[in-house]
Structure 1
Amino acid sequence: MAVNQAPEVEFGWYMPTRGDGPYIGVKSERVVDTPYMIRVAQAVENAGYTFALIPTGGTCSDAWIMGATLAAHTRVFKPLVAMRPGLIAPALAARIGATLDEVTGGRALINIVTGSSPEDMKAMGDPLAYDKEARYERTLEYIKIVRELWVRSHGAEGRQFLAGGNLAAGNPEGAASTFDFNGKHFSIEGGKSYPPPVQRPHPPFYFGGSSPAAKKTAAEIADVYLMWAEPIDWIKEQIAEVEHHREQLLEREGINRTIRYGLRAQVVIRDTEEEAWAAAKLIISKVDEATLDANEIQFGGSQSEGQQRQNQVRALAKANDYVIGPNFWAGLSAIRGGGAMAFVGTPDQVADRLLEYVQIGITSFILSGYPNLEEATISGTKLIPAFRRKFAELFQADLSETAS
């Protein structure tokens, strides 16, 4: 962590549109509908979280509509919604994203989802379901178009549409310039987007992916590069790889980008460590062996390099009751895919673990727990204050050492 300026650290939560409850690996015990999602969003906001990831694919509700709905029932809550290149035309996605930013007063965050399972991508009609390299090529073109349309759209602020929806003839001063693009996957002529986004130059792009192609793409388009929680040395290596591609971009094209780094993890926070571990074990207490066996086959066959890395962490920790290290547990990853590694302990203990990641460059945390409604409040009201206090103490200690 730099000693001359404390980094800004943000905390986000997860919206359980796939289902919620105290146990995983079994049927959801709760009715998870729009009123429930509103309750979760309001609990997230009241607990001190500033944004929330809204998942996509599978049995999830549409992230854009859900995000707009939740923003309408909150004050500062920022919805992190999924933009899926190839499923919606980029110029239309730019208009939808800018509109979300406008109607929420500048609260839109964009999660770039290049792919998911081949089954989900086929179900959505994606012709590149089995071509990962081509999907990242497509993503790069797509986000460059969206970004350029957003940047150019700021010239249209204050312009009045005439009858028929056309701007005044020509390109008067202050009007947004149009954009032409002819790439391998997309072509547009006279492209434009309206309204302009509230955020300048545009809503931030969050992006994840552990493959070499993903990291190279991240260097060009990600404002926040997201990773599923792993041991610190593993995360350091991933950051170094993205930074290498960022430096190559600077050398090759003279483009000097700033990238923040984020971590997606589960948390189980209790007043004592014993209570926390008991609560963590309870989450998986109802799963049966058949489900565990089926999940092991499914996760083992995943094409996602991020999922394969999660599998490796779980395998290394299995003999130690899935304990990866102090307050760090892989037990949930045997049942749920994706970001399943959990920080388990007291508020101070988990705050210490998160600070270890801040010291290697992590400034964005997306957390979740079971059930999400209650755990958002528990973690937000106990973990975040403990983290802020320890963060301030650590930063002041760094300043003192530098001054001496």
Structure 2
Amino acid sequence: MTAIREEISFGWFLPTAGDGKYVGVAPEREPSLSYLIEVARAAERSGLEYVLIPTGGACLDAWVVGSAVMSHTKTLRPLVAVRPGLVAPVLAARMGAALDVLSNGRAMINVVTGSSVQDLEELGDPLAHSHDERYIRAQEYLEVMQQAWTQSEGLAATEFQVKDASARAVSEEKQPFHGKYYQFTRAVSTPQTVQKPHPPFFLGGSSPIAKRVAVEYADTYLMWGEPHAWIEQQIEEIEGIRKQVEAEKGIEKVMKYGLRAQVLVRDTEEEAWAAAWEIISKVSPEAIKQAEAAFAKTDATNQQRQNELREQSKGQNFVVGPNLWTGLSLVRSGGAILIVGTAEQVADRLIEYAELGISTFILSGYPHLEEAENFGNKALPVFREKWKQRQAASAPV
């Protein structure tokens, strides 16, 4: 699968649990407001277009951080997490619409159905141990969010305000939804989003049901970094589901694909590999054992794939392909694969992913402030030039 003519976007990661040069140890830098704004501004200056703001018990709230970042940047887009089942869907739609309006159409929504079981238990989620059921709930949740946005009557000055003709028309055309977990029976008063029909959804997950929900509701299917052949296989599976949904429901849709990975760029490959090993140099054996035990308990298919990849690569110093390293996954959950090398090498690996169909990359490095500037100043221009050349070569004559 190729997408040579497609433009490629790049995002960065905000370290809302703290930051530093090392993983597996206490962070050197606190996630203060001033520091997170500094990272966001550095990403914007470096040519990155949006920031992923994570969620979970160790992180500052994504919506609060997203609002702060939005107000201190001009073009950077906040990609904030909505967690189906933990906030009422109409309220989540109102929050998303407010962020979209106040940022002048920059809001993006990352749909997070899981996280660690411990985090879900702490939040009181009754489906903490019901993986597939969480996705069934997410389907209904996203349906209600979409209807709240697309059928919005706009903000009312008062609850007793008489509806004008356009508002009555929206109300009359409403499409009631009755599900197992949620109902939507009337148009609601919520800000009308700047983006139409609504802010874009990102959704990840490698299980069959996660991929089905992504095809039906997400604009971008987000994958954690894996070797190129693994990513190609996942895209093929999604395309198969997309065709199935199209045949069943008559929904014609073009999926976008995103990749979440780490990057480390240095002037020489030797310097890059030395810096990569330095990141995990302070990890204790006890921390590794604790991480292994936690990873083994996961019910998330994508984390299970990361576990498999790490175990397969142990005998090769965690190298899983040219410039691809899984060493961070010893103590880091999520998209932990690290693309290591010179600006040319890192750009080439990203080009290979883009040629498979990846159209957006969410990247990060340690520390996030310096590495945002490093990637943006060194590797991103090389990628842009190489991709431009490929677009020109593939253009019809």
TM-score range (shorter-chain normalised) is over 0.9
1:180/1:167 CA distance change after superposition, 3 Å: farther
**Amino acid corresponding to residue 159 of structure 2 in structure 1:** G
**C-alpha separation between the residues in 2 aligned to 1:342 and 1:350?**
10
1:165 equivalent in structure 2: 159
**C-alpha separation between the residues in 1 aligned to 2:73 and 2:220?**
24
Q: How many angstroms does 1:386 deviate by?
A: 0.6
- For 1:2-401, list aligned pairs within 5 A: 6-153=5-152, 156=153, 161-162=156-157, 164-169=158-163, 172-173=165-166, 176-177=170-171, 178=174, 180-399=176-395
**Amino acid corresponding to residue 124 of structure 1 in structure 2:** L
**Amino acid corresponding to residue 244 of structure 2 in structure 1:** Q
SS in 1 for 2:356: coil
SS in 2 for 1:343: strand
Q: How many angstroms does 1:301 deviate by?
A: 2.3
**C-alpha separation between the residues in 2 aligned to 1:130 and 1:198?**
37
SS in 1 for 2:257: strand
Structure 1 unaligned regions, length at least 5? none
**C-alpha separation between the residues in 2 aligned to 1:298 and 1:40?**
29
Normalised to the residue count of structure 2, the TM-score between the two structures is 0.96
**C-alpha separation between the residues in 1 aligned to 2:115 and 2:198?**
25
Contact 1:91 1:193 in 2 (8 A): no
Contact 2:17 2:30 in 1 (8 A): no
**C-alpha separation between the residues in 1 aligned to 2:181 and 2:316?**
48
**Amino acid corresponding to residue 301 of structure 1 in structure 2:** K
Q: Higher mean Cα deviation, 199-208 or 295-304?
A: 295-304
**C-alpha separation between the residues in 2 aligned to 1:268 and 1:126?**
37
**C-alpha separation between the residues in 1 aligned to 2:161 and 2:49?**
37
Q: How many angstroms does 1:166 deviate by?
A: 3.7
**Amino acid corresponding to residue 222 of structure 1 in structure 2:** A
**C-alpha separation between the residues in 1 aligned to 2:203 and 2:379?**
25
**C-alpha separation between the residues in 2 aligned to 1:360 and 1:193?**
42
Contact 1:149 1:179 in 2 (8 A): no
**Amino acid corresponding to residue 184 of structure 2 in structure 1:** I
**C-alpha separation between the residues in 1 aligned to 2:236 and 2:249?**
20
Q: RMSD between aligned alpha carbons?
A: 1.6
**C-alpha separation between the residues in 2 aligned to 1:289 and 1:258?**
46
**C-alpha separation between the residues in 2 aligned to 1:251 and 1:196?**
32
Contact 1:94 1:193 in 2 (8 A): no
Q: How many angstroms does 1:32 deviate by?
A: 2.1
**C-alpha separation between the residues in 2 aligned to 1:377 and 1:165?**
49
Q: How many angstroms does 1:2 deviate by?
A: 5.0
Q: How many angstroms does 1:179 deviate by?
A: 5.0
SS in 1 for 2:177: strand
**C-alpha separation between the residues in 2 aligned to 1:134 and 1:205?**
20
Structure 2 unaligned regions, length at least 5? none
SS in 1 for 2:81: strand
SS in 1 for 2:185: strand
Contact 1:347 1:386 in 2 (8 A): yes
Contact 2:343 2:382 in 1 (8 A): yes
Q: Would you say how many aligned residue pairs link Structure 1 and Structure 2?
A: 394
Q: Higher mean Cα deviation, 94-103 or 191-200?
A: 191-200
**C-alpha separation between the residues in 2 aligned to 1:109 and 1:57?**
18
Q: How many angstroms does 1:364 deviate by?
A: 0.7
1:193/1:289 CA distance change after superposition, 3 Å: same
Superposed CA deviations along residues 219-275 of structure 1, whole A, max 9, x for unmatched, are 101100000011111111111111111111111111112210000000001111111
**Amino acid corresponding to residue 182 of structure 2 in structure 1:** F
**Amino acid corresponding to residue 115 of structure 1 in structure 2:** G
**C-alpha separation between the residues in 2 aligned to 1:239 and 1:247?**
12
Q: How many angstroms does 1:398 deviate by?
A: 2.5
**C-alpha separation between the residues in 2 aligned to 1:148 and 1:279?**
48
Contact 1:180 1:191 in 2 (8 A): no
**Amino acid corresponding to residue 49 of structure 1 in structure 2:** L
